[in-house]
């Protein structure tokens, strides 16, 4: 809950300070069991879900199938690293194009949020960033960044290895 409060305060401060960022323009939300996804328009969410599962979904008609696509990856990450933080909730922000420093995705510890480029994200990239969020929520004191990166790369490599 601490991370959610910080995230909402950060978003509020950005919006009220008049700072222009791609994420400040997100006006829609899509809730799943583990995430709140912030996006600008329906095409952004549709493309994100397509990139995670490889097939197009009509998320407006079948919200359960769409949310299951996201939550299945979160649960898979929890299983791979054997970490299941209590009351896990992750804010996910979608944006078109490259993010800061030409990254396609990143996890920000200060806001406990994942930021993704809709144009370039994959299920592996999403799982990688989700693992950062899970590791940070699991430990009282965050693990060193190199350890987190090793865990996240492990998740990315073995995401669907036993299927």
Q: Where is 114: in which H helix or E strand?
A: strand 113-117
**Predicted local distance difference test score (pLDDT) of residue 58:** 73
Q: What interhelical angle do 145-158 and 63-81 show, nearest 10?
A: 120
Strands 105-108 and 113-117, bridge-based pairing:
antiparallel
Q: How many CB atoms lie within 10 A of CB 30?
A: 22
**Predicted local distance difference test score (pLDDT) of residue 29:** 95
**Predicted local distance difference test score (pLDDT) of residue 105:** 95
**Predicted local distance difference test score (pLDDT) of residue 26:** 64
Strands 35-39 and 90-95, bridge-based pairing:
parallel
**Predicted local distance difference test score (pLDDT) of residue 23:** 54
**Predicted local distance difference test score (pLDDT) of residue 25:** 62
Q: How many CB atoms lie within 10 A of CB 148?
A: 19
The full DSSP string for 63-102 is HHHHHHHHHHHHHHHHHHHT---TT--EEEEEESS--GGG
**Predicted local distance difference test score (pLDDT) of residue 21:** 42
pLDDT in tens, the chain (163 residues): 556 554 444 444 343 333 334 455 668 999 999 999 999 999 999 999 999 988 787 766 778 888 999 999 999 999 999 999 999 999 999 999 888 878 999 999 889 899 999 999 999 999 999 999 999 999 999 899 999 999 999 998 999 887 6
Q: What interhelical angle do 145-158 and 123-138 show, nearest 10?
A: 140
Distance of CA 46 to the CA centre of its chain: 15
Q: Which domains does the chain have, with CATH numbers?
A: 2-158 (3.30.2010.30)
d(CA 146, CA 152): 10
Are 79 and 154 in contact, with CB atoms under 8 Å apart?
no
């Amino acid at each position: 809950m601490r991370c959610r409060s910080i995230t909402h305060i950060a978003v509020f401060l950005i919006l009220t300070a008049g700072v222009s960022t791609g994420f400040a323009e997100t006006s829609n939300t899509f809730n799943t069991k583990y995430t709140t996804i912030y996006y600008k328009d329906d095409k952004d969410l549709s493309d994100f879900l397509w990139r995670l599962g490889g097939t197009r979904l009509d998320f407006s008609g079948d919200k359960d199938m769409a949310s299951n696509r996201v939550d299945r990856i979160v649960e898979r990450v929890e299983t791979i690293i054997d970490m299941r933080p209590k009351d896990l909730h992750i804010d996910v922000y979608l944006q078109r194009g490259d993010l800061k420093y030409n990254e396609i995705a990143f996890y920000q510890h200060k806001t406990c949020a994942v930021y993704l480029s809709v144009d370039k994200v994959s299920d592996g990239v999403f799982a990688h960033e989700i693992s950062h969020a899970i590791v940070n929520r699991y430990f009282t004191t965050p693990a060193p960044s190199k350890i987190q990166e090793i865990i996240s790369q492990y998740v990315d490599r073995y995401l669907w290895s036993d299927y």
